[in-house]
Structure 1
């Protein structure tokens, strides 16, 4: 198993946790204010939650793809490319969570 694979999985898991925190705040705000803006933010978090959950499912649970991803069949350069996006997403979500909770 590649270090890049582990970084991608951890990043997707971290994204799920960050999105749950953001979703909690945005649900609370939507229930209080009933504005379209908070509804849009809430839907944004739901779609990103689905995307990151599906990525973790593919990496860890899917009977065909999880075996392929954990083997040496995927070259490191491909993992580096697949790792960059969730890491950048985690940085962006962490900043967004910090701004939202501040």
Structure 2
């Protein structure tokens, strides 16, 4: 294992949790207001949640891809991790704005 892959895995788990929290808040808003905007946010959260759960599966559990992720060059590992960290930053901000 490399540090970059481990950081990416932690970021993916955090993204799953934040996306679930956002889906809860936006789902509650949709049930209260019944408008298209909260519904769109719920659908967005569902797809983003699915994307992150699949990424976690590929990074952690799928036998072929789990090995591949750790054997690619360091520049690829750091790039994939940077994308996950950028997503984490965006989700943190969205969660902070939505939770109030």
Which TM class, normalised by the smaller chain length?
over 0.9
Number of residue pairs the alignment of both structures matches = 100
Higher helix share: 2
Look up the match of 1:21: 21
Q: 2:39 maps to which residue?
A: 39
The gaps in structure 2 that reach 5 residues or longer are: none
Which runs of 4 or more aligned residues in structure 1 lie more than 3 Å from their structure 2 counterparts after TM superposition?
Answer: none
Q: TM-score, normalised by structure 2?
A: 0.95
Which residue pairs with 2:61 in the alignment? 61
**CA shift for structure 1 position 66:** 1.0
Structure 1 unaligned spans of 5+: none
Structure-2 residue corresponding to 1:99: 97
TM-score by length of 1: 0.94
